[in-house]
């Protein structure tokens, strides 16, 4: 059975996720990390680490290609939206073998990474989502939420309570989108589908406590009113590999989608430890093996509480 080498691109703080790959490996796996942050904690837990230029710098592509050649990389897993956009922009440079095994097509990446385009996609394809608001036209009322259309991790999001705040934010942040603020339970949905797009993992996690966009406490809730539309959305988008969907379950029991992330979600460790070992499934598929998953393998109602840890380098 062949060994496998994975390049984790921009892993930064994803230490626990990388450790889960090591723990899940049934074959020899070489884990390579490449990040522009020399202090990235994830670079401390991989087998080989590289500091690369920022994605905006001209020589970044050449540096990553050199790493792939030196380490005989089999596949690149971009860990952030910016890393995904970078690989999409330069996919011709990496179009060999299975390096881009799970990289989505250009249109899907452009749609998922732009909240305005994504909201329009939801509306056009009959997926419930918060209404887009034009601040210059009449709308049902407040509160609203303002979002950076290309933001990540809840950064630069603001709740708007009245017209004075709307006037302020619409002038200060002219590129932001405005949506109806949903009063409801917030969920992330961990997703994994095989290379044909067949859903294997669709696990909703209620985000009970969130800090700076990162879930700190979550509870798995296998609610059919979330799982079924999520499956329909993932299949229509032709998702392949790991992804994370987000939205709100409102008081009426309707689930409204807000985000599609074409990468691992920040709280995916909960789903992995609750029984859906996505790293193991991913490795099985990369090795050409059938994915082993049981229909009811996730512990419904299980809880996760996260905490900060530290890596010391003396």
pLDDT number for residue 110: 96
**Distance of alpha carbon 7 from its chain centroid, rounded?**
17
Give the start-end residues of each E strand in the chain: 4-9, 29-35, 48-51, 75-78, 132-133, 144-147, 158-160, 177-180, 184-193, 199-211, 214-220, 241-250, 255-261, 303-305
Instruction: Output helix, strand, coil percentages for the chain, rounded to the nearest 5.
Output: 30, 25, 45
Please state which of the four CATH numbers 2.40.440.10, 1.10.10.60, 2.70.98.60, 3.40.50.20 is assigned to the domain occupying 4-103: 3.40.50.20
**Is 70 exceeded by the pLDDT of residue 294?**
no
**Range scoring the smallest mean pLDDT among 29-38, 42-51, 138-147:** 138-147
**Rg over CA atoms, the chain:** 20
* pLDDT (average), residues 177-181: 93
Using the predicted structure, report yes or no on whether residue 88 has a pLDDT greater than 50: yes
How far apart are the C-alpha atoms of 93 and 89, rounded to whole Å?
9
Q: Do 278 and 242 form a contact (C-beta atoms < 8 A)?
A: yes
Q: What is the pLDDT of residue 246?
A: 97
Token pair of 29 as six digits? 């796996």
Q: For the domain with range 183-305, which CATH number is right: 3.90.950.20, 3.40.50.970, 3.30.470.20, 2.30.31.70?
A: 3.30.470.20
pTM, two decimals, is 0.93
**Average of pLDDT values for 210-231?**
94
b/e per residue, 36-56, with b = 16+ CB within 10 A? Answer: beeebbbbebbebbbebeebe
Domain ranges of the chain: 4-103, 131-180, 183-305
% of residues, the chain, pLDDT over 90: 80
Q: Is the pLDDT of residue 252 over 70?
A: yes
- pLDDT, tens digit, 9 for 90 and up, residues 269-280: 999 999 999 999
Rounded average pLDDT over 19-39 = 92
pLDDT of amino acid 1 = 47
Q: 27 and 287 in contact (C-beta within 8 Å)? A: yes
How far lies 306's CA from each of 10, 144, 207, 218, in Å?
Answer: 21, 29, 12, 9
Higher-pLDDT residue of 296, 204: 204
User: Could you read off the pLDDT of 49-85 as tens digits, one per residue?
Assistant: 999 999 999 999 999 999 999 999 999 999 999 999 9
Distance CA 9, CA 78 (A): 5
User: What pLDDT was estimated at residue 96?
Assistant: 80
pLDDT value at residue 33: 98
Q: What pLDDT digit, counting tens, does each position of 96-145 carry?
A: 889 999 999 999 999 999 999 999 999 999 999 999 998 888 898 899 99
């Amino acid at each position: 059975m062949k060994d496998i080498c994975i390049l984790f691109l921009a892993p930064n703080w994803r230490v626990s996720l990388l450790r889960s790959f090591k723990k899940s490996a049934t074959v020899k796996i070489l884990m390579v990390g490449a990040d522009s942050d020399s202090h990235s904690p994830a670079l401390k837990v991989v087998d080989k680490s590289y500091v690369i230029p920022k994605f905006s710098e001209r020589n970044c592509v050449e540096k990553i290609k050199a790493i792939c050649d030196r380490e005989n990389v089999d596949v690149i897993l971009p860990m952030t939206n910016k890393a995904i956009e970078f690989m999409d922009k330069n996919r011709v440079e990496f179009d060999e073998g299975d390096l881009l095994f799970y990289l989505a097509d250009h249109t899907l990446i452009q749609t998922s990474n732009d909240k305005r385009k994504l909201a329009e996609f939801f509306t056009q394809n009959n997926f419930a989502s918060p209404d887009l608001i034009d601040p210059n036209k009449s709308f049902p009322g407040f509160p609203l939420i303002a979002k950076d259309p290309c933001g990540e991790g809840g950064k630069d999001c603001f709740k708007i309570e009245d017209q004075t705040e709307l006037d302020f934010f619409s002038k200060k942040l002219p590129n932001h989108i405005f949506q109806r603020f949903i009063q409801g339970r917030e969920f992330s949905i961990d997703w994994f589908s095989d290379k044909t797009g067949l859903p294997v993992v669709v696990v909703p996690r209620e985000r009970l406590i969130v800090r700076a966009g990162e879930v700190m406490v979550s509870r798995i809730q296998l609610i059919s009113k979330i799982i079924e539309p999520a499956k329909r959305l993932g299949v229509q988008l032709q998702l392949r590999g790991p992804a994370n969907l987000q939205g709100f379950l409102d008081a009426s029991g309707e689930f409204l989608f807000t985000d599609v992330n074409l990468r691992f979600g920040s709280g995916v460790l909960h789903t992995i430890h609750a029984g859906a070992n996505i790293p193991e499934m991913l490795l099985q598929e990369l090795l050409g093996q059938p994915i082993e998953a049981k229909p009811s393998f996730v512990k419904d109602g299980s809880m996760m509480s996260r905490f900060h840890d530290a890596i010391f380098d003396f």
